[in-house]
Every structure is written in structure tokens, then in C-alpha cells.
Structure 1
Amino acid sequence: MKKILVPTDFSAEAQHAFDIATQLAHLSGAELKLLNVIEMNGTPNFAATGDYMGSGGVEQLYMVKLLESTRDQMRRMMNSNQFSDVRILDEVDVDDIFHNIRKKITQESIDLVVMGTKGADGLNEMLIGSNTEKVVRQAHCPVLTVKANSGPFDVRTIVFPSNFREDSPYPVDVLKYFQKLFNAHVHLVYINTPTTFGTSRESKARMEDFVRRYNLENYTLNIHNDSVEEDGILSFADEVNADLIIMATHGRTGFSHLLSGSIAEDMVNHAQRPILTCHMK
């Protein structure tokens, strides 16, 4: 892992994400990019430098003051870094938040995004969603989402839910990397629901084959019964007091996403524990 991106809006959730990202950068030797994006709806005439490509006036003064305040907040956040060996770059941009994050991931070859989230529920979740949700869905690098109340990031126990049918090594590579980084124990878990029912014998055999295929170590095999997969993951994570949940997502968009939904996005919205999502590749 060489580059970590931390988008921030200076909220408590974003500060917690920054603290965790600096810890990960310290452990891995990665460089950290702290990014704030100012959205100016209907006002495309400002540059992130504070320059105004229009006629000036009140809007220009407002933007200059906003950028000054934003840079002050960025400096305070950077100064809160507890690790002297972590190299931190910062950037303030004026753009659409989601598209800017996606652009940075591609152009700067980001290896990990760490984002704070408040979660969502009800109509807000169905109709609006969040920038975090969009990044989880479409980012082609792992995305670690944390809430402000998720506590210290001391990863000793990782939960990895899967159907263990997918032949995609990338999520497993991510799992093994984080397991090694923290010397953590992994609970592999298959959530047995009425719609995905399998016998314990079949499920265990599939999981054992998965372990052999990817040469996993320091793990336990678990089958957990529940009515809904998301509830089962959350319930099992509570049982083992997991410090981190790592899961794969197909990253569906458009009509396909509306029809199938995304367990990973639901988990990001509803789980209080840190969630690390990564796309099938």
C-alpha cells in the first residue's frame, strides 16, 4: 500500500477517519493525501486557488474567505497527526465531491480510501444515498468506512463474510494484507439464509476448499443462520466482537443496482464497526 486518500468535511467522522488513516500510513509506510472538495452549485467560475473567472464582487469575496477558512481547518487537521514519519499532502478543490474523489483515485493510483460516514436509513437512504455510498459502489480500490463512535482501530479480529463460491483473488489479497498488517485472527463466515440455504456439510466443504485455494492461515470457519444476510453479518460480528469487517462488492450501478441492491452499501450505512469493502476484480 503506497497511497491513502482521506476525503474530509471536518466532521467528527472525518477526523476519526483521518486518525485511522495516519495509523495505517504509519504501519504501512504509505503516503497520505487529505482532500477537501468545496461544492459550489451553479457557480463553476471559481478555481481552488481562489481565483475568480467572472466579474468579481460578493461571490469572489465569499469564495476567498471560504478557501482561507478551509485551509486553516486543513492545517489544524494535519497538525493533529500523531505519527511524525507519515508524509501528508493536502488539497482543496472546487468540484463535485464524488466525481473529484473518483478522479483522484484514478489519476493518483490510490490504494485505499478512508472515509467517515454518518450512515443513512429510511427514505434518505433509498432516494438520496451518500457520497460515501457512491465511492463504495464505484471505487476500484478498497474503501474503509468508519463512524465517529467506532472506537480505537486496534484490529485483532476480522470478519470476512462470503458465499465462498466467487473465484476472485483480489478481496482475499486485501484480507491477507490487513491480517498481516495487524497480525489479526480471521473469522470466515457463511450466512445461511432461507434464500441461500445450504447444508452445513456442503457449506463447510466449500469453505475448506476456499481456504486451500488461497492459502489462508490463522482463521476459523463459521456458519451463521439468519433470515437476512446483512442482519446475519452484523449479528455474527457482534458475537465475536469483530474489530473490522472486510467484504467484497460487485459494484453494480444503474438499473442492476436498483434491482439487486448492495449488501456492502447496506453494511456501510448500518454497521457501527469499521467496514472495508473491495470490488471483485
Structure 2
Amino acid sequence: MRRILVPTDFSEEARNAYEVALAIARRTGAAIKLLHVVEGQYYTPNFSATGDTMVGNDSMEQVFMMQLLKVTKGRMQELLKAIPHQGVDVVEEVDVDKPISKIKRTIEEDQVDLVVMGSKGSSGLDEFLIGSNTEKVVRTATCPVLTVKQRIKDFNVREIVLASDFKREVRYAMDRFKTFQQLFGARMHLVYINTPGAFESSGNLRQKLEDAAEKYGLKNYTINVYNDVMEEDGILHFANDIKADLIMMATHGRTGLSHLLSGSIAEDLVNHTPIPVLTFHLK
């Protein structure tokens, strides 16, 4: 792992994510880019966040944006000073753009290995109609995304839940998940949530999980079949039962009408659990 991206809006949750990213960087030697994206009604594609080039530079709108950028860069410097990052290469960037577009472009251009983001979570009509920026990144990022809500004083993962149906496509995510497990020397708990609508015998399911563990060369793991009404509830209940430090899931990243009608268990977990969630978008 060489590059970690931490988008920040200077919220408490974003600060918590930055602290977790620093803990990971100290274990891996990775560099961190701390990114804040200003999105305002005065944004135009020709505007330069550095102030080197501006179109209509005598307009009040552009003057306002330059003042906003000055204040924002000051807040970025305050954040860097407030949280010690000795031994970690941290660079900061403030840009004017659409946040999701900028994050996706940065992932590609900087060859980012991991995005660490804060999440406030959401519920009800706001969640259905809008969704959070974090959820959109989880849905579209081409690298793993770690979402963090609460402050974790010492991010030291010991117990990991890997929830999946363990079908063939999960292989694209398994190497990423194994790397994270090995980074912390954690125990991985493979779990299949057995629901009334798709019930299978526990014996068959346990054999399926054992076959997957052997196929992917897993070590230090347990096999679990957990009965619950819904997949999301089962994952949360199981994670709480074993006092998990991290939940890992692959997501298909559905968008548009398909996403609204079907939803995504991984995105729902990001919204609803205080436990950090590591997701990987299956292409």
C-alpha cells in the first residue's frame, strides 16, 4: 500500500477518518493526500483554485471564491497542526470542483490504494433521495474504501467480519481483504446470513464457506452461519456478538433506478453501523 486518500470536510467524522488513515500509514509506509473540495454556486470549469488563472477576475463571485479558498486553506493547515503526523508523508490539496468527480479523478491519477472517509450516516427520506458523498464513493471507487464514524484512539484491528454469499465474483476482492487482514494479524470471521427468504441448510452453507476459505488460501479464520430476518441486520448482529473491529464487504455498486429499487447491503451498513466498514466495488 503506497497511497491513501482522505477526503475531508473538516467534520468530526472526517477528522476521525484522518486519524485512522495515519494509523494505517504508519503500518504500511504509505503517503496520505488530505483533500478538501469546495463546491459552490460560483464554480466554473475555468476557475483555478491556486488563483493563477481566473475568468472574470473582477467579478464579486470570483472574489468571494478566492476568499473562501483562503479560509479553507487556513483550516487545512490548522488540521495538519492539530493532529501529529510525524513519520507519515502528508500532502494537502484544496480544489474547486464537484466532490465526487474530483475524488474519482484523484483515485485514478494518483493511483490511490485506499480511500479513508468519515461518514455521518443517514436515514429515512434523505437517504433514499440523496445519499451521502461517502455512499457515492463506496458505490463507484475503483479501490477499497474504508468508512469511519467514531473516533478510534488506537486503530488496531483484531476481529474482522467478512460477510458474503461467496459466489465466484468475490474473488476480485479477496486479495484486497487478505492484505488488510495480514496487515493487522487479525482473525477473519467468514459469515453467511441465512434468511427466511433464501434459506439453506446450515451444513450446506458451512461447506460452501469451507470451500471458499480453502480456494482463497485463507488463514486464521472461523466459519459462521448466522440466522436473521434480513442480511443487513444479521451482519450487524453478528459483528456486535463477536465485538468486531471491522466489517468487510464487496459491493456491486449499483446506480440509478436499480440502486433505488434494490439498494446495497454494503452501502446500508456504511450508513447504519458505528463499526468501520471496508468495501470493494466489484467491477
Q: Structure 1 length normalisation: TM-score?
A: 0.95
Q: Deviations over 1:31-86 (max 9, x none)?
A: 11110000022531532113531152432332222111111111122223434221
1:35 — aligned with what?
35
Distance 1:55 1:82, change over 3 A: closer
Are 2:245 and 1:240 equivalent residues in the alignment? no
Q: Deviations over 1:71-130 (max 9, x none)?
A: 111112222343422111111100111111111111111111000010000000000111
In the alignment, is the contact (CA less than 8 A) between 1:150 and 1:274 conserved in 2? no
Equivalences for 1:14-93 in 2 at 5 Å? 14-44=14-44, 46-50=47-51, 51-93=53-95
2:191 — aligned with what?
189
1:214 — aligned with what?
216
Distance 1:168 1:178, change over 3 A: same
Q: Give SS of 2:25's match.
A: helix
User: How far off its partner does 1:195 sit?
Assistant: 1.7
Distance in 2, matches of 1:138 and 1:119, equals: 18
1:173 — aligned with what?
175
2:132 — aligned with what?
130
In the alignment, is the contact (CA less than 8 A) between 1:23 and 1:83 conserved in 2? no
Distance in 2, matches of 1:197 and 1:185, equals: 27
How many residue pairs are counted as aligned between the two chains? 281
In the alignment, is the contact (CA less than 8 A) between 1:34 and 1:90 conserved in 2? yes
Q: Give SS of 1:14's match.
A: helix
Q: Give SS of 1:168's match.
A: helix
Distance in 2, matches of 1:201 and 1:163, equals: 15
In the alignment, is the contact (CA less than 8 A) between 2:150 and 2:274 conserved in 1? no
In the alignment, is the contact (CA less than 8 A) between 2:170 and 2:250 conserved in 1? no
Distance in 2, matches of 1:138 and 1:19, equals: 24
Q: Give SS of 2:236's match.
A: helix
Distance in 2, matches of 1:125 and 1:258, equals: 10
Distance in 1, matches of 2:59 and 2:261, equals: 48
Distance in 2, matches of 1:280 and 1:58, equals: 45
Distance in 2, matches of 1:177 and 1:98, equals: 26
In the alignment, is the contact (CA less than 8 A) between 1:191 and 1:226 conserved in 2? yes
- Aligned counterpart for 1:162 among listed residues 164, 175, 196: 164
Are 2:282 and 1:280 equivalent residues in the alignment? yes
Detail structure 1 runs of 4+ shifted over 6 Å in the superposition.
none
Distance in 1, matches of 2:87 and 2:231, equals: 41
1:226 — aligned with what?
228
More displaced stretch, 169-178 vs 58-67: 58-67
Question: Which consecutive residues of structure 1, in runs of 5 or more, have no partner in the other structure?
Answer: none
**Which AA in structure 1 matches 2:32?**
L
Distance in 1, matches of 2:153 and 2:162, equals: 20
Q: Give SS of 1:78's match.
A: helix
Question: Which consecutive residues of structure 2, in runs of 5 or more, have no partner in the other structure?
Answer: none
In the alignment, is the contact (CA less than 8 A) between 1:150 and 1:273 conserved in 2? no
Distance in 1, matches of 2:256 and 2:131, equals: 13
Distance 1:70 1:190, change over 3 A: same
